[in-house]
Amino acid sequence: MSARIIDGTFIASQIRQSVSPGVAAFTARAGRPPCLGIVLVGEDPASGTYVRNKVKAGTESGLHVDLRRLSSSASLDELLAVVRELNASDRHDGILVQAPLPAALGRGAAQQVFDTIDPAKDVDGFSPVSVGRLVQGRALLAPCTPSGVIEMLDRCGITMSGARAVVIGRSEIVGKPMAMLLLQRDATVTVCHSKTPDLPGVGRDADILVAAIGRAGFVTRDFVKPGATVIDVGINRVTDASTAEGLFGASSARMADFAKRGSLVVGDVHPNVAEVAGALTPVPGGVGPLTIAMLLKNTLAAAEARAKSS
C-alpha cells in the first residue's frame, strides 16, 4: 500500500479563491477592504517567514494587511498597548499576534495577549471567549490550523461521522481545538499526550490520526492502522545529518536537499507511514498552507460580522 498524498497547497488555493469574491463584495459595500492587523515582536527568522507569507497571501486576496513590528526589547505593556489600539480601531477587523513571543516577555505573556484581544477580532480563535464558543459548537472564528484540517478532510471526502479519531498532542492551539472540531463532526475522539500508555497501540485504533506534538518523525508506521488517514501538523527543522538520514535514507531526494541547505523542515510523522496509511499530508505542503487560507477566511468572516453589528 502507498498512501494517497493530500495536496494542502492545492486545497488552500481553492479556499483562497473562494474567499476572494466575498472580499470584493465586502469592499464594494463598505468602501474599504477587510483589514487584518498583524503584530510581530522580535526577530525570530521562522516567525518572520510566516508573517511574510501571511501578508503576501492576504494582500493577494484583496485584504488590507497592517503589519506592526515591535523590537525584541519591547515590553509586554507595549505589546498590549498595540493590541488595545487595534481593538479600538474601526478599520481593523482581525488581529493576529504572531507566536511564539520572545521569552523575555515572561511566562504567561501569550495568554495575556489572548485575554486582551477583542473576541470579535480574534481571527486566531485563542481568546477565552472564542474557546468557550468553540466548546459550545458555535464559534465564528475557530483556530486556523484545526479548522483547516476539517476543511481538508471535507474536501478530500474523508468521513468524520462515526470515525475513530486520535489526536496526539493537547496544546491549546492545535490539539484541544482539533479534538473539539472532530467531536462536532460526530467522530469518537481520543486525545493523547506524553503520559498516555501504549501510544502506538492507541494510534492503531484510529481511522483519522492527527499528529501535533513537535517531534520530528515521532509517529511511525507502528502507530497507524492500515488505510487510516494521517494528518501531520508538525513543523520541525532538522539540522543534524544523521537524524535526516534516519528519516529519509542516504540516497533520497530529501537528503540531497539537506546537503544543499544544511537543514530540512519535517513533520511529526515518519516517512515510513506512507507504506501503511490510506491518505497522508506531507510536510511541507500539507497543513501549513491551509492555516494561512483559514486566516483569510476568518478575517472576512470577522469583517462581515462586525459590519452587521454596527
User: Could you give the residue numbers annotated as active site?
Assistant: 54, 98, 124
- Nearest-angstrom CA–CA distance, 59 and 251: 40
- Residues 221, 224, 229, 234, CA torsion sign: negative
Cβ atoms within 10 Å of 14's Cβ, excluding its own: 12
Q: Which secondary structure element, helix H or strand E, spans residue 246, and what is its range? A: helix 241-248
- Nearest-angstrom CA–CA distance, 74 and 105: 8
- Nearest-angstrom CA–CA distance, 264 and 87: 38
Q: Which secondary structure element, helix H or strand E, spans residue 86, and what is its range? A: helix 76-88
- Nearest-angstrom CA–CA distance, 165 and 142: 19
C-alpha 287: how far from its chain's center?
7
Hunting for cell 499530508 — which residue is that?
Answer: 281
Q: Which secondary structure element, helix H or strand E, spans residue 266, and what is its range? A: strand 264-266
Q: Which secondary structure element, helix H or strand E, spans residue 70, and what is its range? A: strand 64-70
- Nearest-angstrom CA–CA distance, 172 and 167: 13
